[in-house]
């Protein structure tokens, strides 16, 4: 009786997870089968943060390449689909202050619009107009600590952004 109840619970859990959009590894992607080459041109940077578009684009390409299913090009030519992105917001804000009035923790927020379009007919395959990522980081009070810790936090935000975009596209969440 216990084994039967356990098996029933397992079937119910798997069914519930599939209904929520979770998929088991190895299942097919949400992209049409004719999509083999994806272009990822440099994202448009509408913020005042220099080089943000280069970091995000590079992490998106890297995430696609680690999945190994598609050939990724940094251009819109000769591809089956194009992923375009526009970064609209970059905000860095202090979230914790020490007794001397110096910030000891900051938060970085990045917001972007992304769309994957099939090149043969301009059909939108996937789109998200409000990708938002945040990452907090602690600041060392030593000289030079703020810059290096901000760079690490920014890389983490860009990587998290890229991982989520690519997962959403390939896994259909």
pLDDT per residue over 134-165, tens digit each? 888 887 766 555 567 778 778 888 998 999 99
Q: Are residues 53 and 45 in contact, defined by beta-carbon separation less than 8 angstroms?
A: yes
| Cα–Cα distance for residue pair 50/32, rounded to 1 Å | 35
Q: 61-70, 120-129, 164-173: which has the minimum mean pLDDT?
A: 164-173
SS3 readout for 29-76:
CCCCCCCCEEECCCCEECCCCCCHHHHHHHHHHHHHHHHCCCEEECCC
pLDDT of residue 146: 57
Residues 154 and 49: their CA atoms lie apart, in Å, by 11
CA distance 164 to 169: 9
Residue 55 and residue 90: Cα distance in Å, rounded?
A: 13
Q: Residue 145: what pLDDT?
A: 52
Angle at 163 between CA 139 and CA 160, to 5 degrees: 15
Q: How confident is the model at residue 21 (pLDDT cuts 50, 70, 90)?
A: very low
């Amino acid at each position: 009786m216990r084994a039967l109840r356990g098996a029933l619970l397992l079937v119910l859990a798997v069914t519930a997870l599939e209904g929520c959009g979770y998929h088991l590894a190895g299942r097919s992607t949400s992209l049409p089968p004719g999509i083999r080459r994806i272009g990822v041109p440099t994202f448009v940077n509408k913020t005042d943060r220099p080089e943000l578009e280069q970091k995000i684009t590079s992490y998106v390409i890297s995430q696609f390449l680690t999945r190994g299913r598609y050939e990724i090009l940094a251009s819109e030519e000769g591809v089956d689909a194009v992923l375009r992105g526009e970064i609209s917001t970059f905000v860095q804000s202090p979230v914790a202050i020490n007794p001397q009035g110096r910030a000891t923790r900051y938060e970085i927020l990045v917001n972007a619009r992304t769309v994957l379009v099939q090149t043969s007919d301009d059909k939108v395959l996937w789109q998200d107009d409000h990708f938002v990522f945040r990452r907090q980081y602690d600041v060392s009070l030593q000289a030079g600590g703020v810059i290096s810790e901000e760079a690490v936090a920014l890389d983490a935000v860009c990587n998290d952004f890229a991982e989520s975009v690519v997962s959403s596209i390939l896994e259909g969440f």
